[in-house]
């Protein structure tokens, strides 16, 4: 499997790689990505004592949701890097996080919400174990260079993160039915359509690993992880939407992300008809406490 950890990481000759566009639908994300791009290009040198290892490679793609589909060159880059950058784009999360994880590349996130939204698949501890977190504010306000942070990570810590990815990766993907079984099924289906009788039973294949299908079905069948069967009350819905407003306005993971660009996500336009003044102060305090 591409996510299996290599004890020596010999084939991962790049320290960091980014695959994506400098032009998203969000102006602030574009500016942030340009800072990372500049840091990457300014240090296009080899790592100490190893002439084959480069620090950073930036691979520009078009702004497209299917940018990595059937893109062998891009996917091989993920398998050639130790760390994969995952800055916010149109939103705070991005598809490449899972491309990276399934290629065994440690994601570098600049907002914990980039992965925290996938609570069914990843726990808070999982996120801590599999990713490197560099606060967005550290790059913008403290002028931290992300490459300096990554260079300071020891081979032992990198190895721990790679092994953690190895544990969670199976449940982040949909297992493929083996080609031979798919072909057998297709032949039997063709016979059925032509009116022929098939005496051999249909082969039932089950994934040998606990994968994303299992995760989703298990949570859908668990009353504690789905909405109440009778739905939410109007007051519960109001409080949920007020909480979303507070998080987007005050949580550092979203700071500045919606000031411009994606107009329909600007905080002042979110759930505008809901009155939140009576609970907003308490929610702001709650949000600040959760940040620590």
What tens digit of pLDDT does each residue of 66-78 get? 555 556 677 788 9
pLDDT at 47: 52
Average pLDDT over residues 161-178: 94
Domain boundary among 172, 202, 226: 172
**60 belongs to a structural domain:** yes
**188 belongs to a structural domain:** no
Average pLDDT over residues 91-104: 91
Domain coverage including residue 81:
14-172
Name the more confident of 182 and 86: 86
Residue 60's φ and ψ, nearest 5 degrees, are -80, 135
Name the more confident of 112 and 131: 131
**First-last CA distance in the chain:** 38
**Number of domains present in the structure of the chain:** 2
**271 belongs to a structural domain:** yes
Average pLDDT over residues 152-175: 95
Residues 258 and 114 in one domain: no
pLDDT at 256: 57
Average pLDDT over residues 41-50: 62
What tens digit of pLDDT does each residue of 112-127 get? 889 998 999 999 999 9
Domain boundary among 130, 156, 172: 172
Average pLDDT over residues 16-36: 89
What tens digit of pLDDT does each residue of 238-265 get? 888 888 888 877 787 876 565 544 444 4
pLDDT at 264: 46
Q: State which of 20-29, 41-50, 109-118 shows the largest mean pLDDT.
A: 109-118
Residue 75's φ and ψ, nearest 5 degrees, are -65, -35
Dihedral sign, Cα of residue 117, residue 33, residue 98, residue 10: negative
Mean pLDDT of the chain, nearest integer? 83
pLDDT at 48: 53
Residues 161 and 258 in one domain: no
**223 belongs to a structural domain:** no
| Residues pairing with 132 in the sheet | 108
**178 belongs to a structural domain:** no
Average pLDDT over residues 199-225: 87
Q: Hey, how many other C-beta atoms are within 10 angstroms of the C-beta on 116?
A: 16
pLDDT at 83: 97
Residues 159 and 267 in one domain: no
**250 belongs to a structural domain:** yes
């Amino acid at each position: 499997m591409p996510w299996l950890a290599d004890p020596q990481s010999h084939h991962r000759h790049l320290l960091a790689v980014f695959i994506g566009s400098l032009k998203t639908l969000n102006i602030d994300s574009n500016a942030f990505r340009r800072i990372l791009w500049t840091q990457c290009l300014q240090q296009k040198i080899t790592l100490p004592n190893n002439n084959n290892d480069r620090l950073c490679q930036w691979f520009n793609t078009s702004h497209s949701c299917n940018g990595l589909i059937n893109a062998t060159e891009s996917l091989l880059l993920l398998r050639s890097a130790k760390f994969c950058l995952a800055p916010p784009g149109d939103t705070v999360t991005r598809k490449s996080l899972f491309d990276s994880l399934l290629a065994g590349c440690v994601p570098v996130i600049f907002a914990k919400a980039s992965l925290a939204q996938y609570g069914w698949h990843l726990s808070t501890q999982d996120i801590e174990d599999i990713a490197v977190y560099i606060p967005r504010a550290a790059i913008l306000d403290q002028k931290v260079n992300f490459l300096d942070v990554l260079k300071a990570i020891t081979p032992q810590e990198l190895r721990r993160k790679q092994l953690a990815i190895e544990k969670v990766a199976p449940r982040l993907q949909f297992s493929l039915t083996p080609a031979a079984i798919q072909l057998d099924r297709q032949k039997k289906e063709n016979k059925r359509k032509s009116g022929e009788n098939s005496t051999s039973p249909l082969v039932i294949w089950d994934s040998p690993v606990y994968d994303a299908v299992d995760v989703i079905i298990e949570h859908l069948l668990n009353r504690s992880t789905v909405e109440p069967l009778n739905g939410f009350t109007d007051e519960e819905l109001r409080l949920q939407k007020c909480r979303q407003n507070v998080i987007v306005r005050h949580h550092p993971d979203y700071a500045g992300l919606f000031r411009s660009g994606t107009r329909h996500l600007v905080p002042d336009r979110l759930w505008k008809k809901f009155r939140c003044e009576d609970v907003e102060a308490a929610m702001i305090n709650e949000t600040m406490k959760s940040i620590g």
